[in-house]
Chain A
Amino acid sequence: MSMILGLYNYWIVIVLMMIGFYIIIAHGHLIKKIVGLNIFQTSVFIFYISLGKVEGGTAPIWQEGILLYSNPLPHVLILTAIVVGIATTALGLALTIRLKEAYGTIDEDEIQAMDNQAMDNQDKESKPC
C-alpha cells in the first residue's frame, strides 16, 4: 500500500507522457503532432521535477532559518529542457508553414501520397517507350 502511495505520482506522469506520445504517432495533422510532442516533453519535465521534491522542503531559495529545501539540480536541468522544447516547437511550426505553402496541406497521409505520386511519375518518365 505504501508503495502505491509512494509511486502513484510517477504513474500519473507516465500516463500523461503516453497520451502525448500517442498523439504524436496516431494523428496525421502536423500541428497536432507538435502539440503531442509538447505534452510528451512537458510530462518528462514534471517527472524530473518530482524527482527533486523533498517532503516538507521549500523552493530552493535561501532564506534565513529554513533548513529543508528541495533539490535545485533537476530545476536547472528542466529550465534548459524547456528552452530546448520551445526551440524544437518553433522549428517544427516553421516547417509546418513551409509545408503548407509547398504541398497545400498539412496532413501527413496527404503529403506522403503526393510524394509517392511524384516518385511514380518520375519512374514512368524513365521507362523507354
Chain B
Amino acid sequence: MLAHLPILQVIVPLMAAPACLILRRPQLVWMFTLLASALAFIISILLLQQVMQTGTISYELGGWSPPWGIEYRIDKLNAFIALIISGVSTVVLLAAQTSIEKEIPQDKHTLFYILYLLSLTGMLGIVTTGDAFNVFVFLEISSLSAYSLIALGRDRRALWASFQYLIMGTIGATFILIGIGLMYQMTGTLNMADLATRLPEVAETRTVTTAYVFFIVGVCLKLALFPLHLWLPNAYAHAPSIVTAFFAATSTKVAAYLLIRFTFSIFGVSFSFTTLPMETLFLGLGLLGIFVASTVAIYQDNIKHVFAYSSVAQIGYMIVGFSMSTNAGLSAMLLHVFNHALMKGALFLALGAVLYRVGSTQLRDFQGLGRQMPLTMAAIVLAGLSLIGVPLTVGFVSKWYLVVAAIEKGWWPVAGLVLLASLLAVVYVWRIVETAYFKAPVVGKELVQEAPMTFLIPVWILVSANVYFGIDTRISVDIATAAAQSLFGVVP
C-alpha cells in the first residue's frame, strides 16, 4: 500500500464523500468525515517523511507513463502543503458537529459533510498532481464545493457572497484554462515536469508570455491578492464558521502553491523574473495589500470581517516574500503559509465558538466576553498576538524570517514597512481585547457560558501549536527551507 500513498491521499476523501450519502444518520456522517480527514492527515505525514528521506515521488495513474498519462508528483513543497491542509481540516472537523447545529438546518447536515470532503479532495488533488490540466479539474472541484459551502451560511448575505465568488472564481479558473491552453499549444504537453523542459525553448515567444500572464492572473484571483481580493471578505464573514475556519487556513494557500509551482518549477526563475517585471509588480501589490487591508480591518464592526481583511494582508506578506525570488524569501513565504494556517484556523474557530454562544460576531457583542468565555477569549488573544508577531509565537517567526530575507536582499525599506504594518495589526487586535476585557457587558443582556469542549479542544490544539512552533522552530523551518531549496535547484 505504501507505494500507492500519493493517490490514496486524494482518493480517501474523494470516495468518502459519496459514501456519506449511503450512511443514514448525521452523527455517523460526522464521525465518518472525521475519520476520512484523519486518514488523509496520516497519509500526508507518511508522504512527507518519505519525501524528506528519499526525494521526489512519482506515481503513474492508469499505468501510463507521462506525458501520455497523468502523473502524481510529490516533492517537499507539495507534501508540506498537503500536510497543512489535511491537518487543519481534521482539527477543525472536531468542532464541526456542534457548530453547524446552530448555523445550518438539520436536513442539510449530511450534504454539508459531503461538500466539506469534496472541498478537501479538490485542494489535495491540486497540490499532489503533476499534470496541468488535472490541476484545473480539481481546482473546479474545490471551487464548486466552496461556493456551495459558503452559501450555507445563516443569512442571505452568504448567498450574495457565494455568487460573487462564483463569478470571480470562474473567471479566474477560465483564465487559468486559457493559460494552460496556450502552454499546451506551444509545447504539446500537459505534464508539469515535461512543460518545464520544453518551455525554455519557446520562452521568447509572445504566446508563452501571454500564457504566463493569464495563468498568474487567474491564480491571483483565487489567491485574493490585492486588488483581486474583493470576493474574500464577504465570503469569509458570512459563510458558516467551520467553513471559514477551514478555508482561511487552506484555500488561498493552495493558490499560493500554484503560484510558486508554476513560477519556479515550470516557467523558471529567469523567465518569470527577468522577462517580466514580476519582482516589482508582486512587491508593490504585496505591500499595498498589507497596508490597505490592515487599515480597512481596523474599521470593521463584524469581527469576522476584521480577520478576513487581515487574511488579505497576510497574503500580502507572503507575496512580498515571493517577490524576492531568493531562497530566503521563498522559505519565509512557505513558513508564513504554515503559520498563517495555524493562526487563522485558531482565530476563526474561536469566533465560531463565540457565534455559537452569543449568536453574533459584532464587536459590540464582545463586551465583557472576557469574563464570560475566558478560555475562548484567551485563545483569541494569543492568536491575535501571533498575528501581530509577538516573540514566542509563530507569527513572530514568520515576520523574523521575512525581515531577514529582505535585509539580505538589501531591501531595507521593505523590512521597515513589514514591521510598521505590524502596528496596524496591534490596533485591530487591541479593539477586540479592549471590548472583551475592559467593557462591562451590556445591561439587560443574557450572560453566556463558556464554549463547549468540542470547540475548546480544537481551538486550543491550534493555539498551542501556535506557541509550540513559535518556540521550537526546527521542524517548520527545516521543511520550509528544504522545500525552497528544491525549487531553486534543477527540476525535481
Contact = CB atoms under 8 A, between A and B. Distances in A.
B151 A98 contact: yes
B163 A115 contact: no
Contacts of B163: 30, 92, 95-96, 99
Interface-centre pick from A37, A91, A115, A123 (highest chain B CB count, 10 A): A91
A33 B163 CA distance: 11
B137 A84 contact: yes
A63 interface: no
B374 interface: no
Nearest to B177: A44
B310 interface: no
B372 interface: no
Contacts of B174: 40-41, 44
Interface stretch (B1-9, B39-47, B178-186, B447-455): B178-186
Contact of B157 (A40, A88, A92, A115): A115
Interface string A26-38: 0000100100010
Given A48-B181, A51-B181, A81-B177, A91 B156 contact: no
B181 A92 contact: no
Contacts of B136: 81, 84
Nearest to B164: A108
A55 B325 CA distance: 43
Interface in A5-57: 21, 24, 30, 33, 37, 40-41, 44, 47-48, 51
Contacts, number: 74
Given A95-B151, A98-B151, A122-B301, A88 B178 contact: no
Interface stretch (B140-148, B387-395, B414-422): B140-148
A102 B155 CA distance: 9
Nearest to B140: A84
B50 interface: no
A33 B140 CA distance: 19
**Which range contains the number of B residues in contact with the other chain?**
20 to 34
Nearest to A47: B181
Interface in B154-177: 156-157, 159-160, 162-163, 166-167, 170-171, 174, 177
Given A44-B181, A48-B181, A126-B301, A95 B159 contact: yes
Contacts of A123: 301
Interface in A71-121: 73-74, 77, 80-81, 84, 87-88, 91-92, 95-96, 98-99, 102-103, 111-112, 115, 118
B133 A77 contact: yes
B181 A88 contact: no
Q: Give chain A's interface secondary structure class.
A: helix
B144 A91 contact: yes
A47 B179 CA distance: 12
Contacts of A87: 140, 144
A91 B364 contact: no
B56 interface: no
Nearest to B145: A91
B362 interface: yes
Nearest to A45: B177
A56 B156 CA distance: 55
A37 B157 contact: no
A8 B156 CA distance: 46
B364 A126 contact: yes
A24 B172 CA distance: 13
A129 B133 CA distance: 59
A102 B167 contact: no
A30 B167 CA distance: 10
A122 B137 contact: no
A123 to B, nearest CB: 7
10 contacts: A33-B167, A40-B171, A41-B174, A44-B177, A77-B133, A84-B137, A99-B160, A99-B163, A112-B160, A126-B363
Interface of A: 21, 24, 30, 33, 37, 40-41, 44, 47-48, 51, 73-74, 77, 80-81, 84, 87-88, 91-92, 95-96, 98-99, 102-103, 111-112, 115, 118, 122-123, 126
Given A37-B170, A81-B136, 4 more contacts: A88-B144, A96-B163, A99-B159, A122-B362
Interface of B: 133, 136-137, 140, 144, 147-148, 151, 156-157, 159-160, 162-163, 166-167, 170-171, 174, 177-178, 181, 184-185, 190, 301, 362-364
